[in-house]
């Protein structure tokens, strides 16, 4: 599942191959990829443009183009961007292909068809509502505390809300809460200032370590070169169904929070 560390890795590893390159062709193998635009409209607006910059905001990839437009890509659950020789056979589940003037193609592969490509002149209309970047200096424990204090929803549901903090998904929410010793169903506004500080530090540590490991390949996530990431090998609770807590040995539990599978240790993360 691409979350902040995975999208950051894609950005880092794609950048040297796409920045400064001319888009020589665009094809959509699945029409819905461009929604709400049509494939024809998206293709027309992308063709002949030069890529000036590649940035990440939350889980969005932002390709800055030479005419002021931005190509926005969201990988959602099962999407990946693979870099390959332009005339090779497209990888399985290729839904869109962008060809470049250096002989490479960027293949947007996505089994589930949740991923989207959009083009806009008004980037704020897409990312304007996102909360702070958790690894930037502005994301302090005080800011996190302020954001959580207004919510009584389970703290895990709050962490998954992109308007609160941008980039955290199901895996890293579970890992951060475990590292901080906080039960995922604790009301967000019930955390003590000590717990908020611990959670703040845990979020930053968990995300930074996952970026070091080039993201987590738990299902269909691949890096642009086709390699897997290794962040999942450091997971202590996420996706570890039926296993024991690596800290205390207690069997991990799985519950549903806001419709999301949630793993935690009932001993290390006691309920209120």
Partner DNA sequence: CCCGGAACCTGAAGGC
Partner DNA sequence: TGCCTTCAGGTTCCGG
Question: Which residues of this chain interact with DNA, rule CB under 7 A?
Answer: 1-3, 32, 58-60, 74, 76-78, 93, 111-114, 126, 150-154, 157-158, 160, 162, 169-171, 188, 239, 254, 256, 258-261
Would you say 96 or 100 has its CB closer to DNA?
Answer: 96
Q: H or E stretch including 119?
A: strand 116-120
Best CA proximity match to 185, nearest among 219, 231, 151, 228 = 151
Return d(Cα 147, Cα 166) in angstroms, integer.
12
Would you say 114 or 243 has its CB closer to DNA?
Answer: 114
Return d(Cα 38, Cα 94) in angstroms, integer.
18
Smallest distance, DNA to C-beta of residue 103, A: 29
Would you say 104 or 172 has its CB closer to DNA?
Answer: 172
DSSP 50: B
Which residue in this structure is represented by tokens 């959509």? 28
- Let me know: does 186 contact 155? Beta carbons within 8 Å: yes
Count of other CB atoms within 10 angstroms of residue 194: 9
Would you say 127 or 234 has its CB closer to DNA?
Answer: 127
Smallest distance, DNA to C-beta of residue 17, A: 24
C-alpha pair distances (Å), 215 with each of 3, 52, 135: 8, 25, 15
Smallest distance, DNA to C-beta of residue 20, A: 27
Return d(Cα 118, Cα 247) in angstroms, integer.
44
Residues comprising the chain, all counted: 272
Smallest distance, DNA to C-beta of residue 247, A: 21
Smallest distance, DNA to C-beta of residue 139, A: 16
Would you say 23 or 182 has its CB closer to DNA?
Answer: 182
| Residues in CB range of 248: below 8 A, 6 or more apart | 265, 267, 268
Phi, psi of 132 (to 5 degrees): -65, 155
Strands 116-120 and 70-74: antiparallel
Known catalytic residues? 2-3, 59, 260
């Amino acid at each position: 599942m691409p979350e902040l560390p995975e999208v950051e890795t894609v950005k880092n590893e794609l950048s040297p191959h796409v920045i400064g390159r001319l888009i020589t062709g665009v094809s959509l193998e699945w029409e819905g990829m461009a929604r709400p635009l049509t494939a024809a409209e998206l293709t027309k607006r992308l063709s002949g443009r030069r890529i000036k910059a590649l940035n990440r905001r939350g889980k969005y990839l932002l390709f800055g183009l030479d005419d002021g437009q931005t190509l926005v890509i969201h990988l959602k659950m099962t999407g990946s961007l693979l870099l390959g020789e332009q005339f090779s056979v497209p990888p399985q589940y290729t839904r869109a292909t962008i060809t470049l003037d250096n002989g490479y193609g960027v293949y947007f592969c996505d089994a589930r068809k949740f991923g989207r490509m959009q083009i806009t002149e008004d980037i704020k209309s897409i990312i304007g509502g996102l909360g702070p970047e958790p690894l930037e200096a502005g994301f302090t424990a005080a800011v996190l505390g302020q954001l959580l204090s207004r919510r009584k929803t389970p703290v895990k549901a709050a962490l998954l809300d992109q308007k609160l903090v941008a980039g955290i998904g199901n895996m890293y929410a579970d890992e951060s809460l475990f590292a901080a010793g906080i039960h995922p169903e604790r009301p967000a506004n019930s955390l003590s200032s000590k717990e908020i500080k611990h959670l703040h530090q845990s979020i930053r540590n968990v995300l930074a370590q996952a970026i070091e490991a080039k993201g987590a390949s738990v299902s269909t996530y691949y890096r642009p070169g086709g390699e897997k990431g290794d962040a999942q090998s450091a997971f202590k609770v996420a996706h570890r169904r039926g296993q024991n807590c690596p800290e205390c040995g207690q069997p991990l539990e799985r519950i549903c929070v806001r419709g999301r599978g949630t793993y935690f240790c009932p001993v290390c993360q006691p309920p209120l």
